[in-house]
Amino acid sequence: MIRKLLFTGIAAATAFSAIPVLAQNGQQAIEEIQVTSNTRKSEGLADVNAAVSVLGEQELGLIGHTHYQEALNRLPGVSIHRNNGQESLSAIRSPVLTGAGACGAFLVAENGIPVRSHGFCNVNEMFDAHSENAARIEVIRGPGSAFWGSNAVHGLINVVLPQPGDAGEISYEQGPRGSQRINAKYGNDYGNFKQLLLLNGTSEEGYRDDSGVDQQKVSWLYNYTTNNGTTLDGGFTVTNLNQETAGFVTGTDAYKDDSRRDTNPNPEAFRDSHSSRFWTSFSRDINDWNVVLTPYFREVNMTFLQHFLPGQPMEDTEHRSLGLQAAGYTELSNGASLAIGFDIESTEGSLKQTQLHPTTGSFFIRNSIPQGKHYDYEVEAQQVAAFINYQQSFGNGWDLSLGLRIENVDYEYDNLMLVGRTDEFGVECRFGCRYSRPADRSDDFTDISPKLGLSYALNDNHSLQLRAQHGFRAPQATELYRLQNSQTVAELDSVELDSYEIAVKGAGDKWNYEVTYYYMDKENEIITNSSRENLNSNHTKHRGLEFAMGYDLSNSLSIHGVYNLASHTYENSQISGGVDIQGNDVDTAPNTFGNLRLQWQPNDALLAEIEVVNMGEYYTNPENTADYEGHNLMNLRVQYKQSDQLSFSLNILNVFDTQYAERADWTTFTGDRYFPGEPARAYLGATWSFR
């Protein structure tokens, strides 16, 4: 498909501006919003030809999210399923994707720097971003633009931190079961030098037994303009998470059972994660070009107990990266905008898996999963990419956006244990050991991503967008080198996705809307088959309609909402559970979900919101024989500003104490299993602005 796209000239850049769901409506509000996710350079949302939705600072302040799911699920096409604590599984125009490298379908970034390296994703990596103090969160739905490569397949989430400058604010929030949270901002403006310090600390006992969370995040940002006109803009973010993890509760409708929903079958489970990122952007005008160079350093360390696996092995992963993002922007004589650039990243990563205790369970499992070390390997990864992006307005209502990216990812794998499927001492298991260690090897993947976007202004208030895009992701290191059973080599290709969209959007003084239809065809999806082999053997299609709207009912009352209709299906013949699942719905892929909010702001001091969250029914297994019935929740939020210095907030989540599941699943061994949703809970906060 990619060759056909290139041959016919459908090389491309994008989608269109998805109307953000904000407390403030209308065309003027949209024109004032700035985004950076499309071109890694600040530009007005109204002028962006990309599928971008934005959560602004005012809305994020109202939400006061205890988990990023509470904020992101207000956007079209986004469905984050919360597990326990700060864990989650993501879906953006997709089903919830699981598996060793499925997290590679989504790219999570902070200030444009991916929080994880391209080959070392984690399904929970959103907790590495400092979203609690964000100025805005931007989401690209579908493949990212030419400025983003591997991993931006189904979507991109970019957390944008505030600009440095004068600030002085501290917030304290108290919730149920010992929940406490503190946020602080302190900054100074010294003219050509500005700085800002952001702090966040969270501690809670957890609703379920032995499920406490302690998390701390620190960001420091600065901006400095030199005498020769060079601008330096950078900082660092450091995060720490210590979490006691609660596992699934099992049994049909177990989340409705008062005697089980707050229990923890895995009190021994935990997750410790530490991350840090340092970056500086150097920006300078050189002749007719604005050149931006952003070197960065990233380090991630995570240890957790895999309580969901037989034998409960411990996983210890880490990686360190040095990278450079480079781009040049110019205006051509015909009025078009041109950007060219390249990205380079070098990563050193490692993974160890060790089982501390003998395996329990069936005779077969005890004799196929040995105690001791299962994996111990290192991977050196190199990413090199070049891109070009062209945008032009023709003055007759038509705008064109073209983009092209070529990217190479190279892995050098070094196995530090014995090769093969033995225990760590070379002893074979009676039924063959489950874990298989491949010999040292090298793998590289080269991918091309063309993109095309067209938009047409129907009139001053409405526009039409058409776009074609190609996204990809290289296999993750765990998919290539963390093998099982008899597989000794994983011959994998990059996952590829072709995306086509048509959308209509509009905005007036008191209203805005967006309607989008998308069709995506994904091939070479990596799955683990019944023999526990990692193969490129899955083909899926993803179709959907996304609706977003906002309307001012009066000067003080407004309504906002998103609604999603989706179909995600298996397209290739494959046997699962003894049946061919071709044509079935992909599991954990609701056909409907959405969000509706009524906001009341009678004056500048008071803002209140009633929110209804809808999750539709979905199948929990590929055979489509087990399902979750879905749920509806209501949340209430109130902010009151007593003075310029002091304000208060009250957030009541799950007002009607609905019994629901944050995530539902099904396995052959356990049957139905769930992460139960929390009961009604209230959070009371106070903010003191001392500068």
pLDDT tens-digit readout, 440-449 = 999 999 999 9
Among 1-5, 75-79, 165-169, 436-440, the range scoring the smallest mean pLDDT is: 1-5
* pLDDT of 516 higher than 90: yes
State mean pLDDT over 145-168.
93
* pLDDT of 415 higher than 70: yes
pLDDT at residue 14, as a whole number: 28
Does the pTM of the predicted model rise above 0.85?
yes
Are 609 and 64 contacting, i.e. CB atoms less than 8 angstroms apart?
no
* Tokens of residue 34, six digits: 């700035």
Dihedral sign of CA atoms 504, 142, 91, 114 in order = negative
Looking at residue 585, the DSSP 8-state letter turns out to be B
* Tokens of residue 316, six digits: 């210890």
Give the whole-number percent of the chain exceeding pLDDT 70.
Answer: 95
Q: How does residue 527 score in pLDDT terms, banded at 50, 70 and 90?
A: confident
Question: pLDDT per residue over 606-638, tens digit each?
Answer: 999 999 999 999 999 999 999 999 999 999 999
State mean pLDDT over 301-311.
95
> What is the C-alpha to C-alpha distance for residues 543 and 519, in angstroms, rounded to an integer?
5
pLDDT at residue 3, as a whole number: 35
Are 400 and 355 contacting, i.e. CB atoms less than 8 angstroms apart?
no
Tell me whether residue 226 is exposed, middle or buried, using C-beta atoms within 10 angstroms of its C-beta: 0 to 12, 13 to 18, 19 or more: exposed
Domain locations in the chain as residue ranges: 2-689
pLDDT at residue 46, as a whole number: 67
pLDDT at residue 27, as a whole number: 56
* pLDDT of 656 higher than 50: yes
Domain 2-689 superfamily per CATH: TonB-dependent receptor, beta-barrel domain (2.40.170.20)
> What is the C-alpha to C-alpha distance for residues 113 and 117, in angstroms, rounded to an integer?
10
pLDDT at residue 6, as a whole number: 32
pLDDT at residue 33, as a whole number: 75
Among 20-29, 302-311, 430-439, 582-591, the range scoring the smallest mean pLDDT is: 20-29
pLDDT at residue 30, as a whole number: 63
pLDDT at residue 16, as a whole number: 29
State mean pLDDT over 260-270.
95
Are 55 and 35 contacting, i.e. CB atoms less than 8 angstroms apart?
no
Q: How does residue 322 score in pLDDT terms, banded at 50, 70 and 90?
A: very high
* pLDDT of 474 higher than 90: yes
Are 546 and 561 contacting, i.e. CB atoms less than 8 angstroms apart?
no
> What is the residue-averaged pLDDT of the chain?
92
Burial letters for 645-656: b for 16+ Cβ neighbours within 10 Å, e otherwise?
A: eebebebebbbe
Give, in order, the Cα–Cα distances in Å from 532 to each of 223, 239, 428, 434, 435.
Answer: 50, 34, 18, 9, 10
CA Rg, the chain, in Å? 25
Question: pLDDT per residue over 275-293, tens digit each?
Answer: 999 999 999 999 999 999 9
3-state helix, strand, coil in the chain (%, to 5): 5, 55, 40
pLDDT at residue 4, as a whole number: 37
* pLDDT of 28 higher than 60: no
> Could you report how far apart the first and last alpha carbons of the chain are, in Å?
57
State mean pLDDT over 315-332.
97
Question: pLDDT per residue over 579-603, tens digit each?
Answer: 999 999 999 999 999 999 999 999 9
- Written as one letter, the residue type at 203 is S
pLDDT at residue 632, as a whole number: 98
Query: Looking at the chain, how many residues does it have?
Result: 691
